[in-house]
Amino acid sequence: MSNGSTGNSLPAIDWGRADLLIELALNEDLDTTGDVTTNSVVPENAQAVAVLRCKEPGMVLAGLRIAERVFQMVEPRLEFKALREDGDRCEVGDLLAEISGPARGLLIAERTALNFLQRLSGIATTSAKYAAALAGTKTVVLDTRKTTPGYRNLEKYAVAVGGATNHRVGLYDRIMIKDNHREMAAMEGAGGITRSVQRARQAYPELEIEVEADCLDEVREAAEAGVEYIMLDNMSDEMMAEAVKLVAGRAKLEASGGITLERLPRIGRIGVDFVSSGALTHSVKSADISLDIEVSK
């Protein structure tokens, strides 16, 4: 996946993990009995055509291929025709895809497919709003690790589809030294930003290092320690402006904590490099998408 230092290339969908999620979602819906309503009411040979339809203005579509995968895992005979693409901005009434084939498969897959599509499109739509709020500035919006357990790959994919940028994917791809790390290290006499950075650099020389700073003294120490990134944690606009002057380009600066959509334009004018917000994934409203079905035979 991309991260804050490499731009906003669209991450690949990890289909191994995606398929596992789809299987788990279908299993919790069907258990060992299956769709008792559909199987008892809908004739086995019934055919149908259905469309996925956008029902809200300004929605950014994400997850269409996941929805297709759900339908085909439930019923391989279903034909899925995409009418739009991930990243498209859709309006009320826009058709997103057409699915045709066995009616039972359509009904069984409907809710699971919509759950994925609505969730990911909601993330993409929110991410687009955050990115738009920083238009005209050099500041880039980042996501966080505050993702739904198991969904990180898909949710970070949706963030990138919406035009925001992925931060580190997990605990393995960037060193991020926070106050809790420093306090635990201090129990063995190895606390402090400088000592922590030295130990991290020695252990993983190939990885970039980010340090969380709560005050200007910590910003100064982190910059002098030669880290690549400094997180300005819960700082006021005034303190962030001082941090920008203090660091003077020696490290990339990331604003975090207390980030709201309304505050973003002000932060962009301060001149930090990044703004990270967990709200891109943990507080979004799922998009409003429907599946409308017609029996054809």
- Longest Cα–Cα distance of the chain, Å, equals 76
Q: Where are the domains of the chain?
A: 15-126+285-295, 132-282
Q: Is 238 a catalytic residue?
A: no
- pLDDT at position 13 is 95
> For the residues 227-243, what does the mean pLDDT come to?
97
- pLDDT at position 296 is 63
- pLDDT at position 189 is 63
* Pairs from 222-229 (Cβ < 8 Å, separation ≥ 24): 222/193, 222/197, 222/251, 223/247, 223/250, 223/251, 224/194, 225/193, 225/194, 225/197, 225/198, 226/197, 226/250, 227/197, 227/251, 228/5, 228/252, 229/4, 229/5, 229/253, 229/254, 229/274
pLDDT in tens, 258-282: 999 999 999 999 999 999 999 999 9
CATH class held by domain 132-282:
alpha beta
Q: Is 212 a catalytic residue?
A: yes
- pLDDT at position 179 is 87
Buried b (16+ CB within 10 A) or exposed e, 93-115: ebebbebbbbbbbbbbbbebbbb
- pLDDT at position 186 is 73
Partners of 255 in beta bridges: 232, 275
pLDDT in tens, 34-76: 999 999 999 999 999 999 999 999 999 999 999 999 999 999 9
Q: Single out the catalytic residue among 146, 195, 199, 269.
A: 146
Q: Is 233 a catalytic residue?
A: yes
| Confidence bin at 295 (pLDDT 50/70/90) | low
Which of the residue ranges 5-14, 88-97, 103-112, 126-135 would you say has the lowest mean pLDDT? 5-14
| Confidence bin at 7 (pLDDT 50/70/90) | very low
Q: Is 146 a catalytic residue?
A: yes
What percent of the chain shows pLDDT beyond 90? 90
Asked if residue 165 has pLDDT above 70, the reply is yes
What percent of the chain shows pLDDT beyond 70? 95
> For the residues 185-191, what does the mean pLDDT come to?
69
User: Which residue did the predictor score with more confidence, 86 or 191?
Assistant: 86
Q: Single out the catalytic residue among 65, 84, 111, 220.
A: 111
User: Which residue did the predictor score with more confidence, 19 or 11?
Assistant: 19
- pLDDT at position 182 is 83
Q: For the domain bounded by 15-126+285-295, which CATH number is listed? A: 3.90.1170.20
pLDDT in tens, 18-45: 999 999 999 999 999 999 999 999 999 9
Rounded to 5°, angle at Cα 139 from 209 and 232: 45
> For the residues 94-121, what does the mean pLDDT come to?
98
Q: Single out the catalytic residue among 65, 84, 178, 250.
A: 178
97 vs 234: CA distance, rounded Å: 43
Q: Single out the catalytic residue among 75, 212, 218, 273.
A: 212
Tell me the pTM.
0.93
